[in-house]
């Protein structure tokens, strides 16, 4: 099969990590008989340098015409003086909007070989955890009406929090479908004891659950969920929540794995193309030094193969190659303990290709 992938290498460490991810995709294609056709396009700081615009129309057109989008990271101090509408991060929002990406999927998995990096006590972690956070990405308080009023001589800020039933239905279905191929458990997180938006969320998720009788659904208030994530992360499998709560909880879930350079993500809409990227930023402090860990980007490609192309075996092969490399002691600087041998970005990419 042939798959067209739009590639946005981006800024900072973006080009270094994406180059390794492309190497791994090529190796996977060679092993399983697929061809991945890459078209490099510009977004973020690199696009501002080349065209003055953080998200050129040509980039959007090529992304829309591709089967999938692979992104490194955008941004950096050089662009801090750009006007808000042309900041590199605006390119990401623009892409999500243009591609209709309403579901952000973030796995947070603890690798046994990296258990030392987990900031939670071993007695709590037990046999580890493997959580997938499904965050709604295009609604909620971030997209509600914003305004300032003046009351009794004081300025008051307002952000309207809202969710419509169809918005909740489509993200809930994503979560239940994901749970069907995992351990069939969904935790829906809201604040239904206080917020009307959350009451609509909870009622709707409960109705959608009836379509998936094999999946166990539990509801949890967001404050409790934040607590439970550090008290007993192993209890969660698929966690579905709105944009605001998901923003915070997905970062919390990521950080308890202890290694930002390891965590992939997918942003999905109703149809292809999805967008796949590491959860970290452009790490300007280590850019150009061959210190970046490419694993988050490589695992994002594994998600792409599974969710956009339906290539489950190929996706699992990449995940297994990463795990084998870690088990063999391969470490980039961010995950190495003092005194351990440190691999460069491209050495780690090559080793994962070799494991494949
Ligand atoms: P960051 O994620 O870039 O870096 C935080 C820390 O983690 C740094 O010490 C960095 O060296 C380290 N780190 C990150 N990725 C790593 C990797 N793969 N391997 C090893 N170490 C890694 O966050 P930041 O410093 O807050 O942001 C830097 C820039 O990135 C900013 O301009 C920010 O706006 C942008 N950013 C972009 C995205 C994106 O493109 N999706 C996301 C977050 C931040």
pLDDT band at 228 (very low <50, low <70, confident <90, very high): very high
Given a contact cutoff of 8 angstroms between Cβ atoms, the answer to whether 298 and 322 are in contact is: yes
How many H helices and E strands in the chain? 12, 12
Residue by residue, DSSP assigns 240-259 as EE-HHHHHHHHHHHHHTTT-
Beta bridge partners of 277: 265
Ligand 1 atom nearest 293 alpha carbon: 19
Give pTM, 2 decimals.
0.92
Q: What is the mean pLDDT of residues 296-313?
A: 96
> For 326-342, what is each residue's pLDDT tens digit?
999 999 999 998 899 99
Longest dimension (CA), the chain: 69
Cα-to-centroid distance, 282 and ligand 1 (Å): 4
Q: Is the CB of 308 under 6 A from ligand 1?
A: no
- Rounded distance, CA 10 to CA 325, Å? 26
Q: Is the CB of 289 under 6 A from ligand 1?
A: no
191: annotated active-site residue: yes
223: annotated active-site residue: yes
**pLDDT value, residue 196:** 98
> For 152-202, what is each residue's pLDDT tens digit?
999 999 999 999 999 999 999 999 999 998 889 999 999 999 999 999 999
- Rounded distance, CA 176 to CA 269, Å? 15
User: In the CATH scheme, what is the code of domain 119-256?
Assistant: 3.40.718.10
251: annotated active-site residue: yes
**pLDDT value, residue 111:** 87
79: annotated active-site residue: no
- Rounded distance, CA 325 to CA 20, Å? 14
Tokens of 43: 């977004």
> For 42-92, what is each residue's pLDDT tens digit?
999 999 999 999 999 999 999 999 999 999 999 999 999 999 889 999 999
For the chain, the domains span 1-102+281-356, 119-256
Q: Is the CB of 292 under 6 A from ligand 1?
A: yes
With a CB cutoff of 8 Å and minimum separation 6, the contacts of 13 are: 72, 73, 282, 283, 286, 287, 292, 345
**pLDDT value, residue 100:** 92
Domain 1-102+281-356: give its CATH superfamily.
Answer: Isopropylmalate Dehydrogenase (3.40.718.10)
Q: For atom 23 of ligand 1, which residue has the closest CA?
A: 281
Q: Is the CB of 94 under 6 A from ligand 1?
A: no
Tell me which H or E stretch contains 229. Answer: helix 222-231
**pLDDT value, residue 110:** 87
Q: Is the CB of 91 under 6 A from ligand 1?
A: no
Q: Do domains 1-102+281-356 and 119-256 have the same CATH topology?
A: yes
Q: For atom 34 of ligand 1, which residue has the closest CA?
A: 75
C-alpha torsion 63→64→68→69, nearest 10: 30
pLDDT band at 271 (very low <50, low <70, confident <90, very high): confident
Q: What is the mean pLDDT of residues 31-36?
A: 97
Q: Is the CB of 9 under 6 A from ligand 1?
A: no
Query: Of 27, 90, 109, 191, which one is the catalytic site residue?
Result: 191
Helix (H, G, I), strand (E, B) or coil at 72: strand
- Rounded distance, CA 33 to CA 191, Å? 48
**pLDDT value, residue 242:** 98
Tokens of 199: 């009451």
């Amino acid at each position: 099969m042939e798959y067209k992938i739009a590639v946005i290498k981006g800024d900072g460490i973006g080009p270094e990590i994406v180059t390794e991810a492309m190497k791994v995709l090529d190796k996977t294609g060679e092993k399983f008989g697929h061809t991945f056709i890459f078209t490099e396009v510009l977004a973020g700081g690199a696009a501002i340098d080349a065209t003055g615009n953080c998200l050129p129309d040509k980039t959007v057109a090529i992304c829309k015409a591709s089967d999938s989008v692979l992104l490194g990271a955008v941004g950096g101090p050089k662009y801090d003086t750009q006007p808000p509408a042309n900041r590199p991060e605006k390119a990401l929002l623009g892409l999500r909007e243009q591609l209709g990406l309403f579901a952000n999927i973030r796995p947070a998995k603890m690798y046994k070989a990296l258990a030392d990096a987990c900031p939670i006590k071993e007695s709590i972690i037990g046999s580890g955890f493997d959580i997938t956070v499904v965050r709604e990405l295009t609604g909620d308080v971030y997209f509600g009406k914003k305004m300032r009023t003046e009351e009794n001589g004081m300025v008051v800020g307002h952000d309207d929090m809202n969710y419509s039933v169809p918005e909740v239905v489509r993200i809930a279905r994503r979560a239940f479908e994901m749970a069907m191929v995992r351990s069939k458990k969904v935790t829906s997180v809201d604040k239904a004891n206080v917020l009307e938006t959350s009451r609509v969320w909870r009622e709707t998720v409960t109705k959608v659950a009836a379509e998936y009788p094999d999946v166990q659904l539990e509801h949890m208030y967001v404050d409790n969920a934040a607590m439970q994530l550090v008290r007993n992360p192993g209890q969660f499998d698929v966690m579905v929540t709105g944009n605001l709560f998901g923003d915070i909880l997905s970062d919390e879930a990521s950080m308890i794995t202890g290694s930002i350079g390891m965590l992939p993500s997918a942003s999905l809409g109703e149809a292809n193309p999805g967008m796949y990227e590491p959860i970290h930023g452009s790490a300007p402090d280590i850019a150009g030094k061959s210190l970046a860990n490419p694993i988050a980007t490589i695992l994002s490609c594994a998600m792409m193969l599974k969710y956009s192309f339906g290539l489950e075996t190929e996706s699992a092969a990449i995940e297994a190659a990463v795990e084998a490399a870690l088990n063999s002691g391969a470490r980039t600087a961010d995950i190495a303990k003092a005194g351990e041998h440190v691999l460069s970005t491209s050495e780690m990419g090559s080793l994962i290709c070799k494991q494949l």
